């Protein structure tokens, strides 16, 4: 999947080597001594926020935690553990997740990997456990397709509570016939606690971008994913069901980005919705005649869109709905200060009055992979990863009130720089020799008036220590 290309050209995470930590006023969710990631937010059967995340300790042990929101105290309660096998795959684009059926049954899902001779990545599976007592005890993990043997790997899933009270799940499978791309499959839970046999909803999607699902509160289901169209076009597509996931429409591409890229960008779309509409957001890179960035759109019943650029410098967007239909977005946005590059976490609000935003992190942060969930009628929870830790904030929706200019955030352009990428003076990393494709660097340092680029903060540190 061309990981070298993926990390250096598309993700372009622009991580600074700064040791700055978020303010002590921002609550830390994870254990400070562990490597935390994969934060995920959902709402339980009563509409209350529930957060989950993964941690890895210094010995390589893997843990999966969750916590219920305590609205009276304005914080998350004591974390609870979900037992997971140690071959669980911990990565943010295919994060472990939790979901609630309408009857309160909890389901935890997580990707696993089994080594296969001759395969770099092994064989991937998606396993799940259930809890009938609010997470105190869990069933033994089982494959989501345990009763239906599947050839190849399955991963990069999305999950949603359907309008019939069950859970719907979509994931990427494996094309065994040498066809480019990966099939999108859908299954739903049964009253007995298992998953139905998966059905094919698209034959060739982008290889490693997460899938997102939403419902319309009328039995409709939307599955949104990054497609793989002829010519390696990586636009966003949708398939719809009108019967709680029993059957699906034909795939329709709606983003119209015409973004051509050889390799998967590891940056899937987000979707939310209700009876009034379907709302999607996604990242697209620059093409010959179009600027890239984060986009938001209303997708109508004919899959036509009203599309808007939110910011040219953002990635990893997630969406949620407030009870009154206000759309909330969370994403990270890169910015440059002197010769260092940082990532701030931004909360966006979209309602009948327009587009608004609020920065959730202090200056000098390195926030990534934010997630959002409503907390009652007036608050939203946003959580994110920063320097191997997971943080969160409760934000009043009324405080998200700075108007978003028509062409994106005012602060989204690089300071002292006309473009959205940092122009460095070198085309190879001086520490490791790796080529900086398109002069995209993940960290920089100023030397004798020149900006020196590096493929990683580790290489920058190695270089500066040798000076």
Residue 176: per-residue pLDDT = 77
**Per-residue model confidence as pLDDT tens digits over 196-235:** 999 999 999 999 999 999 999 999 999 999 999 999 999 9
Q: Residue 454's pLDDT band (boundaries 50, 70, 90)?
A: confident
The CA-based angle 375-381-387, given to 5 degrees, is 160
Per the CB < 8 A criterion, the answer to whether 18 and 344 are in contact is no
Of 109, 15, 17, 22, which is closest to residue 392 (Cα–Cα)?
22
**Per-residue model confidence as pLDDT tens digits over 356-370:** 999 999 999 999 999
What is 234-298 written as a DSSP string? --EEEEEESSTTSS----EE------B-SS--S---EEEEETTEEEEEEEE---SS---EEEEEE
Of 229, 98, 92, 88, which is closest to residue 156 (Cα–Cα)?
92
Of 325, 188, 194, 200, which is closest to residue 243 (Cα–Cα)?
188
Tell me, yes or no, whether 154 lies in a domain: yes
Q: Is the pLDDT of residue 421 over 60?
A: no
Q: Is the pLDDT of residue 178 over 90?
A: no
- Average pLDDT value over all residues in the chain: 88
Residue 340: per-residue pLDDT = 85
Of 335, 333, 214, which is closest to residue 269 (Cα–Cα)?
214
The whole-angstrom separation of Cα 227 and Cα 462 is: 39
Q: Is the pLDDT of residue 17 over 50?
A: no
**Per-residue model confidence as pLDDT tens digits over 370-412:** 999 999 999 999 999 999 999 999 999 999 999 998 755 443 3
Tell me, yes or no, whether 422 lies in a domain: no
Of 391, 355, 365, 396, which is closest to residue 379 (Cα–Cα)?
396
* Alpha-carbon torsion angle 417, 420, 423, 424, nearest 10: 110
What's the total number of domains in the chain? 1
DSSP state of 404: P
Beta strands in 376-448 (DSSP E): 379-386, 389-396, 402-403, 443-447
Q: How many CB atoms lie within 10 A of CB 152?
A: 13
The whole-angstrom separation of Cα 467 and Cα 459 is: 13
Q: Is the pLDDT of residue 10 over 60?
A: no
Residue 110's domain comprises 24-412
Q: Which helix (DSSP H) or strand (DSSP E) does residue 187 occupy?
A: strand 182-188
Question: Which residue matches tokens 């599947």?
Answer: 150
Tell me, yes or no, whether 340 lies in a domain: yes
Tell me, yes or no, whether 222 lies in a domain: yes
Of 360, 407, 352, 355, which is closest to residue 379 (Cα–Cα)?
360
Q: What is the mean pLDDT of residues 186-191?
A: 97
Tell me, yes or no, whether 339 lies in a domain: yes
Q: How many CB atoms lie within 10 A of CB 31?
A: 15
* Percentage, residues of the chain above pLDDT 70: 85
In angstroms, how far is the first alpha carbon of the chain from the final one?
36
Q: Is the pLDDT of residue 24 over 80?
A: no
Q: What is the mean pLDDT of residues 265-290?
A: 91
The whole-angstrom separation of Cα 177 and Cα 223 is: 24
358: helix, strand or coil: strand
**Per-residue model confidence as pLDDT tens digits over 26-63:** 999 999 999 999 999 999 999 999 999 999 999 999 99
CATH number of the domain within which 280 lies = 2.120.10.10
Strongest mean pLDDT among 9-23, 268-282, 331-345, 450-464: 268-282
Tell me, yes or no, whether 325 lies in a domain: yes
Q: Say how far residue 46 (Cα) sits from the centre of its chain.
A: 24
Residue 436: per-residue pLDDT = 64
Residue 175: per-residue pLDDT = 87
Tell me, yes or no, whether 10 lies in a domain: no
3-state secondary structure string, 192-210?
Answer: CCCECCCEEEEEEECCCCC
Per the CB < 8 A criterion, the answer to whether 427 and 410 are in contact is no
Per the CB < 8 A criterion, the answer to whether 84 and 141 are in contact is yes
- Cα distances (angstroms) measured from residue 216 to each of 92, 219, 455: 27, 7, 43
Residue 431: per-residue pLDDT = 83
DSSP state of 94: G
Token couple for 69: 């929101």
Q: Residue 327's pLDDT band (boundaries 50, 70, 90)?
A: very high
The whole-angstrom separation of Cα 54 and Cα 211 is: 19
Q: Residue 426's pLDDT band (boundaries 50, 70, 90)?
A: confident
Q: Residue 165's pLDDT band (boundaries 50, 70, 90)?
A: very high
Phi and psi torsions of 18, nearest 5°: -60, 145
């Amino acid at each position: 999947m061309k990981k070298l290309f993926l990390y250096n050209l598309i993700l372009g995470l622009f991580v600074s080597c700064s040791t700055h930590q978020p303010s002590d006023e921002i609550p830390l969710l994870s254990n400070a001594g562990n490597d935390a990631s994969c934060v995920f937010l959902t709402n339980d059967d009563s509409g209350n926020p529930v957060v989950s995340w993964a941690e890895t300790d210094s010995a390589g042990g893997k843990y999966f935690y969750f916590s219920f929101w305590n609205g009276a105290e304005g914080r998350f309660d004591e974390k609870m553990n979900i037992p997971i096998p140690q071959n669980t795959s911990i990565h943010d684009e295919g994060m472990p997740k939790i979901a609630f059926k309408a009857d309160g049954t909890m389901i935890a899902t997580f990707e696993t990997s089994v080594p296969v001779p001759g395969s770099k990545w092994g064989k991937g599976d998606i396993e799940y456990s259930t809890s009938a007592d609010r997470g105190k005890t869990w069933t033994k993990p089982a494959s989501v397709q345990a009763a239906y043997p599947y050839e190849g790997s399955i991963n990069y899933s999305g999950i949603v509570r359907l309008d019939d009270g069950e859970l719907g799940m979509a994931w990427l499978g494996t094309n065994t016939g040498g066809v480019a791309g990966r099939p999108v499959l859908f299954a739903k839970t049964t009253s007995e606690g298992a998953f139905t046999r998966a059905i094919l909803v698209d034959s060739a999607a982008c290889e490693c971008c997460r899938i997102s699902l939403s419902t319309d509160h009328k039995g409709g289901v939307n599955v949104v994913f990054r497609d793989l169209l002829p010519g390696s076009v990586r636009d966003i597509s949708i398939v719809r069901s009108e019967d709680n996931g029993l059957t699906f429409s034909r795939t329709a591409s709606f983003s119209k980005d015409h973004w051509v890229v050889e390799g998967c960008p590891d940056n899937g779309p987000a979707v939310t919705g209700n009876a009034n509409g379907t709302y999607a957001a996604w990242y697209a890179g620059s093409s010959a005649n179009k600027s890239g960035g984060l986009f938001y759109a209303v997708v109508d019943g004919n899959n036509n869109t009203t599309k808007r650029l939110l910011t040219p410098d953002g990635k990893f967007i997630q969406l949620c709905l407030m009870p009154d239909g206000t759309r909330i977005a969370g994403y990270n946005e890169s910015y440059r200060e002197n010769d260092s590059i940082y990532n701030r976490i931004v909360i966006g609000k979209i309602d009948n009055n327009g587009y608004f935003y609020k920065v959730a992190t202090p200056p000098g942060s390195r926030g990534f992979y934010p997630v959002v969930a409503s907390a009652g009628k007036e608050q939203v929870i946003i959580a994110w990863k920063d320097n191997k830790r997971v943080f969160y904030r409760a934000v009043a929706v009324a405080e998200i009130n700075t108007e978003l200019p028509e062409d994106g955030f005012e602060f989204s352009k690089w300071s002292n720089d006309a473009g959205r990428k940092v122009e460095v003076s070198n085309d190879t990393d001086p520490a490791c020799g790796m080529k900086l494709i398109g002069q995209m660097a993940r960290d920089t340092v100023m030397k004798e008036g020149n900006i020196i680029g590096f493929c990683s903060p580790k290489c920058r540190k190695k270089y500066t220590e040798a000076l």
